[in-house]
Amino acid sequence: MTPDIDRVSALMAEAAAAEIVPRFGKLAAGDIQEKGPNDLVTVADLAMEQRLTPALAALLPGSTVVGEEAVSSDAQIHDRLDGADPVWLIDPVDGTTNFTEGRPAIAVIVALVHHGRTVAGWIHDPLTGATATVEEGAGAWLDGTRLTVAPPPAEISAMTGALNFKYFPEEMRERVKSRRERVNTLRPLFCAGQEYLRLTRGEIHFAQFWRIKPWDHAAGVLLHREAGGYSARIVDGQPYRPTDREGGLLMTPDAQTWHALTETLFGPV
């Protein structure tokens, strides 16, 4: 059922080269709109999704598409993930706020989901041209090089990662803030795709998110798992599924460090 991995990569790269790269650092005020509070969309987001939607659907007869911008216009499109048909997930510009401010932490993310399970994923960096790809059971790759997560350090205090407090419930946000010095924290990139690339290149040990929209995470969770990592929802320790609407996510090198870090950051006082 999985289409040609390289063909999808090429479609993403071609679209990004045409719609994102020429606009980076050159957006005019009229090129940016606000979908909701602190939720931006640009002409590049819309153009990318409009370009990728028919191209991806044509690669897999019988498939359908769930794009971030389409869902923002019609929330019922999200329900396609609950159906039996293969579903393409598209995040046309992940890190839109970074994009509007000329910061390079952006990505294009595509995932293929079938029966509620991610079977393939792609994360493309438009500015470097690098593309990470993953197919269930076939490993995680970055332009031909196999990706592997960083091995867990001997002590939790030596773990390095990004703590992103955005969207967390207030009580949990304050708890994590008060404990952030228990690990080595880096500034979050505010781009899920780039955080997954850091994780799977072995540059950081962990990352966490509260909002788990499928176009942000379906590809990345599979990429991380196939690179040897372990992840689960923060609230209940259950594996992530693209149909999940809430529960947060914590990504670590293995199950042991997941449980230890969860206790360290989120556990009872």
In this structure, the answer to whether residues 73 and 182 fall within a common structural domain is: no
Asked if residue 42 is part of any domain, the answer here is yes
In this structure, the answer to whether residues 163 and 84 fall within a common structural domain is: no
What percent of the chain is modeled with pLDDT above 90?
90
Is 181 exposed, middle or buried (CB count within 10 Å of its CB: 0-12, 13-18, 19+)? exposed
Domains in the chain, number: 2
> Band of the pLDDT at 269, cuts 50, 70, 90?
low
DSSP symbol at 102 = T
pLDDT tens per residue, range 123-168: 999 999 999 999 999 999 999 999 999 999 999 999 999 988 888 9
Domain finish residue from 85, 117, 146:
146
In this structure, the answer to whether residues 206 and 248 fall within a common structural domain is: yes
Q: What is the pLDDT of residue 1?
A: 67
For helices 5-19 and 43-59, the axis angle rounded to 10 degrees is 160
Average the pLDDT over 12-21 and give the result: 98
In this structure, the answer to whether residues 94 and 198 fall within a common structural domain is: no
Residues in the chain: 269
Encoding tokens for residue 199? 């994780």
Asked if residue 151 is part of any domain, the answer here is no
Overall pTM > 0.85: yes
pLDDT tens per residue, range 203-239: 999 999 999 999 999 999 999 999 999 999 999 999 9
Domain finish residue from 146, 169, 202:
146
Which run of H or of E encompasses 205? none
The three-class DSSP label of residue 251 is strand
Which run of H or of E encompasses 153? none
In this structure, the answer to whether residues 43 and 166 fall within a common structural domain is: no
Asked if residue 97 is part of any domain, the answer here is yes
Asked whether residue 38 carries a pLDDT value surpassing 90, the answer given is: no
In this structure, the answer to whether residues 112 and 235 fall within a common structural domain is: no
The residue segments making up the domain with residue 22 are: 5-146
